[in-house]
Structure 1
Amino acid sequence: MLLPIILTILPLVTPSPINRTCMTITGVTHTFYGFPDNDPPGPTIAMDCGRGYIAGGSGTYSDPVTFASAEGEFNPCEIIYDPYIQKYLRYEDHCADCTVDWKRGVVHIDVWTGNNTLSGGDDQINCEFALTTGTQTIVRGPRVNLPVVAEDLYVPGTKDSCRTDLRIFGYSTRGFC
């Protein structure tokens, strides 16, 4: 007697989905956050995309910087490229202001400024404001070999703790896909 075989097919889950179509998105609201103004304060993030639930990253494709956004705006663990700061970013956290903007049809990312062990207090928050310049362009599904400046945007305890010099204005996104 042959018994029926029941197969259960489970969907494949990948830890870092790849956006297969490269595209640039202009008019993206860019803000920055870090240890002192995270909710709750510290380095804890909403998703584990390979480094635990701790924000970080140097900005390379293999070690992207954490960014937050509205749930559903990006795929969990999606890697994008930010030509404004020449870093790859990975969607690993949620952002309340980003959610408000997303409901209004505005794309908003909040980029981790660095250091997941020390709070820079008001100095770091002032740095985040200095880095914020309104809207920028991002690249979804970027090539893996774009120019990168693999330095933290905020380095507590140093003379020039806020690295506003790492920002690039007037960039072209030609060739990023």
Structure 2
Amino acid sequence: MRLRYAAGAVLALTLAACTSSPDQMPGLAVPSMDAGGIEISTGNTAQQSFSMPPPPVASISGPAAPPNTTTTTNPAAPPPAPPPNNAPPVNQPKPGPQVQPNATGRLLMFSARDNEPRGSRDIAYPNVLHGQAGGSGTFGDPITFATRQNAMRPGTRIYVPDFRRYFILEDVCGDCGSGDLKLWVGAATDSGVSSCEQALQRTAPYQLNPPDGLPVVSGDLYQNGRCYRP
């Protein structure tokens, strides 16, 4: 609409200039007129100046930023604690009995080779446990030993740590001194058994009336031609 109005104004001014008297043409001065942004001026040179307003500047804006859709997540929760262990405690094995020597004596040896009568396994107290000299050395089957008459009660048990065997009083020795014990080494009658007896003879501690469960190496101290080595 503004452009049509401006064109009309220009045409009207042109016609007015053409119909004016020639006398007036040289000195015609038409004041400037703002026709919607068109500046028209006439004079001796009838100059026309058009000035177009700058086009409106559209406000250009980018697309609206999307809403912040970042989801804040909580850190992972720790796993639940395991249920309490209600299982009964495991029974730990109790320590076994300890070797506790409570006496010391001279330990002598005898065998069937030097027994009375020679070559026999006869004992003074055959009704204690064994009917004759013997035994394996365990608590339930101790080996025969002898002492002086009335030195100990028949059936008394001892444990000798050096030999790791139990012994039981079932015999009497006539050549034993005070505190001497004579241990049965086996039913052998060869000369090797005499050497073994000499090798094993010693003064050593022993445990009187020992408990069951002490370490044991069962068997005769002399067997199959071999002497036990502590």
Q: Normalised by the size of structure 2, how large is the TM-score?
A: 0.53
Q: 1:97 aligns with which of 160, 175, 179?
A: 175
Which amino acid in structure 2 is aligned with residue 162 of structure 1? R
Does structure 1 residue 126 correspond to structure 2 residue 126? no
* SS of residue paired to 1:125: helix
State the 1:58 CA deviation: 0.3
Q: 1:85 aligns with which of 156, 163, 166?
A: 163
Partner of 1:149: 217
State the 1:120 CA deviation: 2.4
Does structure 1 residue 29 correspond to structure 2 residue 106? yes
Q: 1:112 aligns with which of 168, 179, 184?
A: 184
How far apart, in 2, do the equivalents of 1:62 and 1:23 lie? Answer: 19
* SS of residue paired to 1:113: strand
How far apart, in 2, do the equivalents of 1:70 and 1:91 lie? Answer: 11
Which amino acid in structure 1 is aligned with residue 191 of structure 2? D
Unaligned runs of 5+ in 2: 1-99
Paired residues of 2:123 and 2:170 also in contact (CA < 8 A): yes
Q: 1:57 aligns with which of 135, 144, 155?
A: 135
How far apart, in 2, do the equivalents of 1:82 and 1:128 lie? Answer: 16
Paired residues of 1:23 and 1:141 also in contact (CA < 8 A): no
Q: Which of structure 1's runs of 4+ aligned residues deviate more than 4 A?
A: none
How far apart, in 2, do the equivalents of 1:67 and 1:92 lie? Answer: 6
Unaligned runs of 5+ in 1: 1-21, 168-177
* SS of residue paired to 1:97: coil
Does structure 1 residue 72 correspond to structure 2 residue 136? no
State the 1:96 CA deviation: 1.6
* SS of residue paired to 2:197: helix
Paired residues of 1:154 and 1:162 also in contact (CA < 8 A): yes
Partner of 1:135: 203
Q: Residues 36-77 of structure 1, C-alpha deviation per residue, up to 9 Å, x if partnerless?
A: 10011110110021221x100000010000001111111111
Paired residues of 1:86 and 1:147 also in contact (CA < 8 A): yes
Does structure 1 residue 44 correspond to structure 2 residue 122? yes
Q: Percent identity?
A: 33
How far apart, in 2, do the equivalents of 1:58 and 1:24 lie? Answer: 23
How far apart, in 1, do the equivalents of 2:101 and 2:148 lie? Answer: 19
Q: Normalised by the size of structure 1, how large is the TM-score?
A: 0.68
State the 1:146 CA deviation: 0.5
Does structure 1 residue 163 correspond to structure 2 residue 224? no
Paired residues of 2:142 and 2:165 also in contact (CA < 8 A): yes
* SS of residue paired to 1:130: helix
Report the number of matched residues. 129
How far apart, in 1, do the equivalents of 2:151 and 2:160 lie? Answer: 16
Paired residues of 1:130 and 1:164 also in contact (CA < 8 A): no
